[in-house]
């Protein structure tokens, strides 16, 4: 049976077990939080993003989660600068054209500020510039895609927390903590929709 790990990646942690950066680098990695042989990330999460990262010891499961062809949905809680108007929300929903091509349609809605842990370091605060929280669900995973999408419509991302991947969510998992999960959540398996 494949092993699947749910990890709440803190801000500033690389989505890899070793730092292949500069020789004197002291950047935090997965090995600072997870001491399990044979598991590897199923996808990535930027160093300056937080939230759900899945790790598994099964290559086929890793591909089913991470490969764009399977269209696994990922939901992000996103704090952006200023309050997006309906046109900006609609543009994100329809898909925007980035340098690497158009994005697939997304589900986007304004939400109340979520009850999240404090980030270290905290998000910058400017009295003269309001902010807003969005829930954004995408079915692809390009490099820094959500950040590029919000910037494209004029609302740079201040904080990004991945809350859900497919059937798995961050519910009850503190930053830096991990737990085992069934590879297929009962009643909500990841379906092979890409073939």
Q: Record the pTM.
A: 0.89
What pLDDT, on the 0 to 100 scale, is given for residue 71? 86
Same domain, 64 and 78: no
- Do residue 89 and residue 147 come from a single domain? yes
Residue with tokens 């270290």: 120
Residues 79, 159: one domain?
yes
pLDDT tens per residue across span 34-65: 999 899 999 899 999 999 999 999 989 888 88
Residue 103 clears pLDDT 50, i.e. is over it = yes
| Overall average pLDDT of the 107-134 stretch | 93
Task: Using the Cα atoms of residue 44, residue 49, residue 50 and residue 51 in order, give the sign of their dihedral.
Answer: negative
Intra-chain end-to-end CA distance of the chain, in Å? 24
Same domain, yes or no, for 149 and 86?
yes
How much is the mean pLDDT over the chain? 89
Same domain, 64 and 133: no
* Residue 68 confidence (pLDDT): 79
Which range among 29-33, 105-109, 190-194 shows the weakest confidence by mean pLDDT? Answer: 190-194
Count of alpha carbons within 13 angstroms of residue 77, beta-carbon side: 15
Overall number of domains in the chain: 2
Question: CB of 55 within 8 A of CB of 7?
Answer: yes
**Annotation marks residue 46 as catalytic:** yes
User: Which CATH number fits the domain that encloses residue 136?
Assistant: 3.30.70.1560
Which residue, among 56, 27, 54, 21, has the nearest Cα to 141 in the 3D structure? 54
Percent of the chain whose predicted confidence (pLDDT) is above 90: 70
CATH number, residue 2? 3.30.70.580
98 lies in the same domain as 127: yes
Enter the tokens of residue 19.
């730092």
Exposed, middle or buried, 181 (CB in 10 Å: 0-12/13-18/19+)?
A: middle
d(C-alpha 8, C-alpha 49), whole Å: 11
Residue 158 and residue 83 in one domain: yes
SS3 content of the chain, % helix, strand, coil (to 5): 15, 30, 55
Q: Which residue of the set 19, 32, 46, 57 is catalytic?
A: 46
Is residue 12 located within the same domain as residue 60? yes
Q: Is the pLDDT of residue 189 over 60?
A: no
Cα separation, 169 vs 163, whole angstroms: 6
Give the mean model confidence (pLDDT) for residues 75-99.
96
User: Tens digit of pLDDT for each residue in 145-167?
Assistant: 999 999 999 999 999 999 999 99
Domain carrying residue 143: 73-165
């Amino acid at each position: 049976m494949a092993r699947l790990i749910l990890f709440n990646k803190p801000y500033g942690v690389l989505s890899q077990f070793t730092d292949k950066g500069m020789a004197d680098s002291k950047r935090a990695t997965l090995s600072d939080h997870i001491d399990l042989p044979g598991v590897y990330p199923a996808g990535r999460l930027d160093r300056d993003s937080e939230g759900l990262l899945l790790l598994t010891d099964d290559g086929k499961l890793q591909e089913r989660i991470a490969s764009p062809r399977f269209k696994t949905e990922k939901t992000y809680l996103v704090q952006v600068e200023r309050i997006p108007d309906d046109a900006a929300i609609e543009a994100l929903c329809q898909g925007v054209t980035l340098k690497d091509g158009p994005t697939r349609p997304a589900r986007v809605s304004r939400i109340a500020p979520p009850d999240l842990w404090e980030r270290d370091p905290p998000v910058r605060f400017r009295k003269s510039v309001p902010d807003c929280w969005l829930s954004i669900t995408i079915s692809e995973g390009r490099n820094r895609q959500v950040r590029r999408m919000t910037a494209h419509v004029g609302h740079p991302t201040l904080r990004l927390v991945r809350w859900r991947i497919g059937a798995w969510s961050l519910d009850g998992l503190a930053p830096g903590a991990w737990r085992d999960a069934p590879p297929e959540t009962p009643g909500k398996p990841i379906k092979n929709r890409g073939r």
